[in-house]
Amino acid sequence: MPVGYAELHALSNFTFLRGASHPHELIEQAAVLGYGALALTDECSFAGIVRAHVAARGQSARLLIGTELQLVDGPKLVLLATDRAAYGRLCALITQARRAAPKGQYHLTRATVESADLCGCLVLWPAPISASGSEVAWLKERFGTAAALAIELQADGRDRLRLERLSTLARTHGLLATASGDVHMHARARQRLQDVLTAIRLGMPLEMAGHALLPNAERCLQDLATLERRYPRALLDVSVQLAEQCAFSLEELRYEYPEELVPAGHTPSTWLAQLTQRGLATRWPDGAPASVLATVRRELQLIAELRYEPFFLTVEDLVRYARGRGILCQGRGSAANSVVCYCLGITEVDPMRMSLLFERFVSKERDEPPDIDVDFEHERREEVIQYLYTKYGRHRAALAATVISYRPKSALRDVGRALGIDPSTIERLSKSVRWWHGAVIDTASMDETGLDPASPRLASLLSLSRELLGFPRHLSQHVGGFVIARDTLASLVPIENAAMPDRTVIQWDKDDLEDLGLLKVDVLALGMLTAIRKALALVAVKRGQPFGMADVPAEDRATYDMICRADTLGVFQIESRAQMAMLPRLRPRNFYDLVIEVAIIRPGPIQGGMVHPYLRRRAGLEPVEYPSEAVRTVLERTLGVPIFQEQVMQLAVVAAGFTPGESDSLRRAMAAWKRKGGLGHFEERLIGGMRARGYSDDFAQAIYRQMLGFGEYGFPQSHAASFALLVYVSAWLKCHEPAAFTAALLNSQPMGFYAPAQLVRDVREHGVEVLAPDVNTSDADATLVGPEHVQLRLGLRGIRGLSGATMQRITQARRDGCYDSVQSLAERAALTGAELATLAAGGALAGLAGHRHRAVWQASGVVAPMPLFPSPRIAEGVPLLRAPTEGEDLVADYRELGLTLGRHPLALLRNRLAARDLLTAAELRAVPAGQRVRTAGLVLVRQRPGTASGVIFVTIEDETGVTNLIIWRNLAQRYRQAVYESRLLAVEGVVQREGLVLHLVAERLVDRSQWLGRLLTRSRDFH
Amino acid sequence: MRARARSRRTIGLRGDEALTLDLFAPLETTAAVTARTLAPPESRQSPRPLPLWLAVSFPMLPVVALSDPDSVQAVIEGPPGQQRLVALSAAAESLGLRRDLSRTAAEIRVPTLTWCERRPELEARALEARARAAFALTSFVSLEPPDTLLLEIRGSLRLFGGLEALIERALAALGTARIPATYAVAPTVRAALWLVRGQPGVRVESLAALPGVLARLPLSVTDFDATVRSTCERLGLSTIGELARLPRAGIARRLSPAVPRWLDEAFGREAQPRRRHVLAVRFTEALALPAESTSTVALWPWCTRLLQAQERFLVQRDAAITQCRLRLHHRSGQPPTMLTLERSLPSARAQEWLALLEERLGRLDLCAPVVAVALRSGAVSPAVPLEEGLDLSGRDGRAASARLLDRLRARLGEEAVQGMCLIPAHCPESAFRRVRPTWPSAAAVSDALPCTPRPLWLLSAPQALLLRGTRPWYGGPLQVLSGPERIESGWWSGQGIARDYYIACAPTGARLWIYRERVATPQAGWFLHGVFA
């Protein structure tokens, strides 16, 4: 009989900075070596088990689940789960230990283990050579026959002694003894990386790490021959016997939805049907059309078959709560654009109005939970999260984790430190790792650094960093992925403390949940929802009647006209440079055009080369052709160009012969290809499948390329539709209620691409009068004033350095009448000298004290009143302070408010600019395409879209408007300093026109920032 | 100064110029101990003459102070993410970089920029070295860290032939030809400091001329903190003159009570006390022998005198030393003989140093007759109180052991007496290091000990073992007692090992530490690496 072995004690890299192999490497190697089983026993963690579980599917080695625990006052134990109940108990124990310590640590005592219910768990004690009888006795007494002594031999020179002593110890106490490996890596070759991890953990270079390093590479998965030489056969046999006792698999975990959402007398099905009926009546007061009713029936039937009702009810409950509190929210995701979701109020996009098809709605074939992300106003999402915690309790609701992994820069930094390479060299090296190299460390770019990649130390650095890439580093919290359990979450997955106080996080990330078929609700934050809600409220006051999103008229012509002019500063999504450049070409005339616009200007479609074909076909410059009728049905809506994620998947089905289930695996592979490197066997199947069905090689290759592009960035149509609705609503508001829209944007800062200065400037160009902040008239927020509510009064919140409480005191004390002097303001609003000075500098005291310098003098001289005494009056005159010049006021405006209502800074420099033949933005608009011109402006935004092969978009602004620059990569490198640093940039370039949009393709750049003196403008840089 | 003067006086007997010049290399900055006293400018007669301050600023000091200044272009300072350039090499400046640029911005301009973090302790030393040179011009030198020196020069004007000549001499003495510096002259300290920043090169000799010059300076040259400066900016004030015009009480209340006081100090309306820099102390003295001496015995009384003088010097300062150097000067043409005496514990006592000297002189062959002896003390440290007692195991036992060690080293030579320090490392070769012997020994570190036995005698290089069949042979077949202990480590140093160690018994009964290479190399096979006692 061949020797058998099961490894019962193995750590993966989810035991951070100790384990030197990925979970899948361990299980795969165990199978290769012919092990019967491998127990993943990460230290106080189950974070790696799902990955191991996925990797173990179809492998000959079985995966066992366990954990290694170091008791603070006792031995180190390895606990293994034999069944589902024992697994739940281990989850609870890990949770208890993790919750008792700060993030990333755990705390466990003998007493805790003694009192914990560990029924069904196997307990191994990897005993040291000095093990004493008292510890064995404790183990025996506490765990009885579930306990075993693990003998771990690692060729440290004392193997024989250890074996003898421990065997005797086990025998005398009647305890089972087994072999185990204390595995830290799947193969010997990982020893170097393991050493480096140790050095990183200790925060010292390898030279200093000394005995903390492993003396040899024996803690790898050993081949059976070595094990047989090292251990008596009986010990190996025991490991197999123990492994056989562990019958638990993660497949057994079944998610059970919360129960309390269904009132008595209802089943989830009947309750969901009832809620949907109610919704139908609200959405279609005059009765829904037959087609809608048929769709609803079909959807409800499918939901019932898959028993997904509680999921829809959970989301509905969340949305109902938010709506009750006046929090604007909107769902998106594969299941979100069903009629059921529209009826439940989860989405506002009327699916019928857009004649959308919902191919990616939950499918029976893929037994995968539906996916609904809900966006909430960014300022109020926390309320929703707190509601979830209150409703379900912290023991049932928790945020999913995000596994933070090593990226090129962090890997280089940490490995470099361990190798003792000086920080400046590492920095230089890590600078050369540009973001567009993705997750790969590229030696080619090292030439720029002047470092020699062949030197042994650097070679070690590079190869070890490459190995370290993708290693998990720590768990962080997901932005909003919530898991809710029916009973106790802690018996499903361990929960640990997050960095934020009062936050907890489960040990699994989104992908893990999905891999196990568990359900999560995404509670996300979106700034534009905040702005829209605030704008709608202002409109309602102005119009004197309630005004909601539903009251925004559909398909408004003026709004689309505005969008086609690319007059979209501040509008959701389509305010970026790339979007603005596309609008006049795409000319969206209806809602579906907006959906396409949102989806097409994304890195995925751009990388896949879909944009230009679509534009040409839309403009009628190129015929719309389909290689087959089947493809036509998929791509007809988008003129033969795949734009949405689901179209790519459908293509795989109709053109390459995938089943829908396979096509869904393809979708997941697409999302992960960058992480895992390539689409693997899908590539072959896809291209081969298309060829076999008579499609040309070109077509097949093009589709494959597009899939790669989609990977991380592709939009499903349902997402695009939800976003497009916000695009439309925000565009309508900008078009018809510019003052309210801008006030709302200002009151929701920080958000969006543009700073308040540009928003204010833009709204003034649209004819809205904007008034400066003033202590006697401004609220904290920007408000609409004047008889018609058409003037915009800036809020005090725009003044830098003013706290919310201060603003509240100012507005509250003002209710008894206006302030008549700085002194009375100080007394009535109880302001300190510093607060007054801030107000003075912000120009908000102009009405009380005159010009800025005088206002500051008066404000800073006020003495804070003391509680029991009348405020001291200090007799002093105001000295003769020079009034600020226009330039000085401008500088102060920018410094204190970030914007000015005075003349544009460039207006002050115009003579100097004109003398150098630098045109204004307005003059530029009259220049024909192809002509060489010079202009200059303040740099507003620098953008380097991830897709545009290194091109940099810079927007500059002068007193007449903005100009968009295109700077090619080579040029940007030549003029690095001017491109990245100038605040005032002078450009020489060639005019390029696309419809109404003008670009200047830069050829020469000069940094003229020194002309600005002390003017503080900061651009917003997005890389 | 005093020591030097005395050495001139006592040595000039033969009129030998080589001897009257510096007997010692320039003071080492590393060993300096600085004492500072608070003192006003020197006053000779009343009314006190108006002081005149020369401020010299070395903006490149952070670079120059580095041990290898040519290897970096910029020195940075600040928390990660907010690092700014504080100083630049000339090469970096020619690339268009300037001070105060953020590191990110600098690297946009010069992607290959080499930088290092600021080292304030090196800068302090470098500034002090410059202060020492400044004493050639005036007895009142004051440090304004990080990079400025203040010299009170009123009293030196005549000696050096006027202001221009003095400035020229000062700049030369301070080495400004190599290290760029800026300077300014003003009758008050604060004005000099502001002017060196705001209007370098300016010379203001009278108080009357000061207001006009200062008024034009921008407020950025002042030492006012950020809050004061930003309030000034908000008040529309940009120069010192504009600030000085405002009502005194008003600015005290609005900015800071310190502001009017500083203005007063700058304009000379109020005196500003200044710390005088005091040079480090070191004992140096030389004695010319009345006649040439060819025997070391004849040197003994002179050396005794010097060591006793040193003891008095040190005791007065409550100080002690661990090292001193004796120079025996020969007739011209012969390089002097140097004797360096070292002790493990600091001491000032001539008796103890003489005991060491005795060992050295006893073994010394003079290469030429001696004409003069000079003594120079090493770095000075605070004295350790001496306790005499009978308890040999305690403090005195320690002292006695240290004395023994010192004597052994003095007698056998520095190299012959070695200490051993254990290093926690898996590779046997790197698990220890020879060190200067100390008492108590540095070796007693428990966590540096491996948990398996190691031989006391480790061969300096492993010795290949013969094989008979497959068994290693060393005067007979070796019998393995225990093992293997597998050691695979040290790869990062380029000298990684992969060996299986065994303890084996030789036919003679000796216990040997042997190993087998795990990597197939030409030397693969069995090796003897150590012998157990």
ipTM, two decimals, is 0.72
Which residues on chain A are in Cβ contact (under 8 Å) with B425? 210-211
Mapped onto helix, strand or coil, the DSSP state of residue A577 is helix
Which residues on chain B are in Cβ contact (under 8 Å) with A218? 486
CB B139 within 8 A of CB B53: no
Task: Establish if A57 touches chain B: CB-CB under 8 angstroms.
Answer: no
Flag whether pLDDT at B376 surpasses 80.
yes
* Triad B246, B252, B257: Cα angle to 5°: 140
Written as one letter, the residue type at B528 is L
Sort strands B479-489 and B337-347 into parallel, antiparallel or unpaired: unpaired
Span B57-65, average pLDDT: 87
Instruction: State how far the Cα of B199 lies from the Cα of B208, in Å rounded to an integer.
Output: 18
Task: Establish if A419 touches chain B: CB-CB under 8 angstroms.
Answer: yes
Among A2, A65, A5, residue whose Cα is nearest residue A30: A5
* CA dihedral for A1001, A1003, A1007, A1012, sign (positive or negative): negative
pLDDT band, residue B305 (cuts 50/70/90): very high
Find the closest chain A residue to B116 by CA distance: A424
A 398-417 residues with CB below 8 A of B?
A: none
pLDDT greater at residue A239 or residue B383: A239
Instruction: State how far the Cα of A773 lies from the Cα of A755, in Å rounded to an integer.
Output: 17
Q: CATH 3.40.1170.60 spans which residues of chain B?
A: 66-118
> pTM (2 decimals)?
0.70
Beta bridge partner(s), residue B203: B185
Q: What SS3 string covers A486-518?
A: CCCHHHCCCEEECCCCCCEEEEEEHHHHHHCCC
Span B332-357, average pLDDT: 86
Which residues on chain B are in Cβ contact (under 8 Å) with A431? 107, 111
Span B504-510, average pLDDT: 90
> Which of A216, A800, A980 has the highest number of chain B CBs within 10 A, making it the mutation to test binding with B?
A216
Task: Among A471-485, B282-296, B379-393, B406-420, name the one with the lowest average pLDDT.
Answer: B379-393
User: Given an 8 Å threshold on Cβ–Cβ distance, is A192 in contact with B491?
Assistant: yes
Among B176, B160, B162, B139, residue whose Cα is nearest residue B61: B176
Which residues on chain B are in Cβ contact (under 8 Å) with A861? 250, 253-254
Sort strands A1020-1022 and B380-382 into parallel, antiparallel or unpaired: unpaired
Q: What is the pLDDT of residue B25?
A: 32
CB A256 within 8 A of CB A305: no
**CATH code of domain B66-118:** 3.40.1170.60
Q: What is the pLDDT of residue B1?
A: 39
User: Given an 8 Å threshold on Cβ–Cβ distance, is A881 in contact with B235?
Assistant: yes
* Triad A98, A102, A105: Cα angle to 5°: 55
Task: Establish if A158 touches chain B: CB-CB under 8 angstroms.
Answer: yes
CA dihedral angle for residue A655, residue A660, residue A666, residue A671, rounded to 10 degrees: 120
Q: What is the pLDDT of residue B103?
A: 81
Give the start-end residues of each E strand in A353-456: 373-377, 397-405
Instruction: State how far the Cα of B314 lies from the Cα of A580, in Å rounded to an integer.
Output: 81
Q: What is the pLDDT of residue A675?
A: 52
> How would you list the strands of the sheet with A521-526, edge to edge?
A329-332, A373-377, A521-526, A472-484, A397-405, A504-509, A495-497
Phi, psi values for residue A727, rounded to 5° = -60, -50
In CATH, which superfamily holds the domain spanning B284-410? DNA polymerase, Y-family, little finger domain (3.30.1490.100)
Q: At what angle do helices A290-306 and A268-283 cross, to 10 degrees?
A: 160
Tokens 């696309």 -> residue: A994
Among B291, B293, B326, B375, residue whose Cα is nearest residue B14: B291
Q: CATH 3.30.1490.100 spans which residues of chain B?
A: 284-410
pLDDT band, residue B18 (cuts 50/70/90): very low
Flag whether pLDDT at B42 surpasses 70.
no
Task: Establish if A697 touches chain B: CB-CB under 8 angstroms.
Answer: no
User: Given an 8 Å threshold on Cβ–Cβ distance, is A216 in contact with B486?
Assistant: yes
User: Given an 8 Å threshold on Cβ–Cβ distance, is B234 in contact with A192?
Assistant: no
Within chain A, which residues score under 70 in pLDDT? Answer: 1-2, 254-257, 334, 337, 351-369, 431-454, 603-604, 607-608, 660-661, 668, 671-680, 709-714, 863-877, 945-949, 995-996, 1014-1023
For residue A48, the distance in angstroms to the closest alpha carbon of chain B comes to: 29
What proportion of chain B, given as a percentage, has pLDDT over 70? 83
B235, B246, B489 ranked by CB distance to A213: nearest: B489
User: Given an 8 Å threshold on Cβ–Cβ distance, is A215 in contact with B447?
Assistant: no
A155, A213, A884 ranked by CB distance to B485: nearest: A155
Find the closest chain A residue to B494 by CA distance: A456
For residue A853, the distance in angstroms to the closest alpha carbon of chain B comes to: 4
